[in-house]
Copies of this chain bind each other. A is one copy, B any other.
Amino acid sequence: MNPTVNFTPGPSQLYFTVEDHVRTAFREGVPSLSHRTKKFESYYQSTVEGLRALLNIPAGYHLYFTGSATEIWERVVENLVEEKSFHLVNGSFSKRFFEVSQQLQRKADKLEVANGQGFDASFRATEGTELIALTHNETSTGVMLPLEFFKTVRANHPDALLAVDAVSSLPFPDFDFNLLDSVFFSVQKGFGLPAGLGVWLVNDKCVAKAEQLLAKGKSIGSYHTIPSLHTHALKNQTPETPNVLAIYLLSKVVEDMNRKGIQAIRKETEYKAALLYNTLNQHSVLNPFVKDKAFQSKTVVVADTGEHTERITKLLLEKGMQPGDGYGPSKKTQLRFANFPTHAKEHFEALVDTLEAYKP
């Protein structure tokens, strides 16, 4: 194991139990297990049941596996948008979701604000919008939508499907899934697993919409259409040979998280975020990039580090801590700190101690 504590927001530091689970997986033959076996189906089922318990997912929601969350952007548009999608854009990842819809030749509209900004929840999507694409946590800028945000959007758009990219926030947010139609994430962020698996939740309304498009003679893809994923999921199966090892590891990490308890995970996440924001607020030369407290991400904290970026990075590395670079054009003026379940309170205490001790 690398001794460094890794604060990059993805791929994240591994959840601390992963290496043990990999060892067990090899002992049990998981890496070469056929997915057409009862044993695989039991792993699939245990992942689904574990996630239902962890995230309090109600009945009528179905869970599918893909290669990545990037793939899910594409599948959401292919399966759930005949003509019009509407996107809230405030950074690189929400923008990419918007562009995917354009590339798939839908009429994609957007409400765009500057990086680091949140949105006024009372926005109205373009007339005829079938799906509103929301990025719960914009990994590039550290803006997180507050949970009440979804209530307003739902109330103002009773007929649109709401699809939420929760890539770098889950398992932290206590979503009211009844407000949302589709939620997705990848495993290399909050769940602390090796990259290579996307997890896609859809409700019955999404299943019906995809079937409707298919019945209308639209092409919605081939193996990873919702109807194909759904038929297989009902049997705890996948259309293709999936990343069996990743599904197994996810089931085990979710089991660990359920043992710890989601309330404890959420409380710790809030405590660690508060520590870091507090330090940034009081610091002589550092500041949180996101000013509006209502939109400050709890899981990816972005610091304006300006001309100090290089020296702070060096200082942290000396103490065995790897910060995440600022994203894209902010590479030289910001640092990002993931605050995922694998990051212990002690890691954050050491982090803020080091930042506080920094003398320009």
Residues of A whose CB lies within 8 Å of any CB of B are 1-2, 4, 6, 8, 10-14, 18-19, 22, 26-29, 31-35, 66-71, 73-74, 77, 99-100, 103-105, 186, 188, 192-197, 219, 221-225, 239-246
Contact = CB atoms under 8 A, between A and B. Distances in A.
A225 B100 CA distance: 11
A14 B32 CA distance: 6
Nearest to A342: B32
Contacts of A186: 241
Contact of A195 (B26, B193, B223, B243): B243
A33 B74 CA distance: 25
A33 B73 CA distance: 23
B35 A11 contact: yes
B245 A196 contact: yes
A32 B6 contact: yes
In terms of DSSP, what is the predominant structure of the interface of chain A?
loop
A161 to B, nearest CB: 19
Interface centre among A14, A29, A221 (most CB of B within 10 A): A29
Contacts of A240: 67-71
Number of identical monomers bound together in the oligomeric complex: 2
A1 B18 contact: no
A29 B222 CA distance: 35
Nearest to A239: B70
Given A68-B240, A196-B244, A31 B10 contact: no
Contacts of A34: 8, 10-11
Contacts of A8: 34
Contact of A68 (B105, B192, B241, B245): B241
A13 B224 CA distance: 27
Contacts of A73: 222-223
B32 A223 contact: no
29 contacts: A8-B34, A10-B34, A11-B31, A12-B32, A13-B32, A14-B31, A14-B32, A18-B31, A19-B26, A22-B22, A32-B188, A66-B67, A67-B68, A69-B240, A70-B223, A70-B239, A70-B240, A71-B223, A71-B240, A73-B222, A74-B223, A100-B223, A103-B221, A103-B222, A103-B225, A104-B222, A188-B241, A196-B243, A243-B246
A186 B35 CA distance: 14
Contact of A246 (B103, B196, B223, B239): B196
A316 to B, nearest CB: 16
A219 B1 contact: no
A139 to B, nearest CB: 11
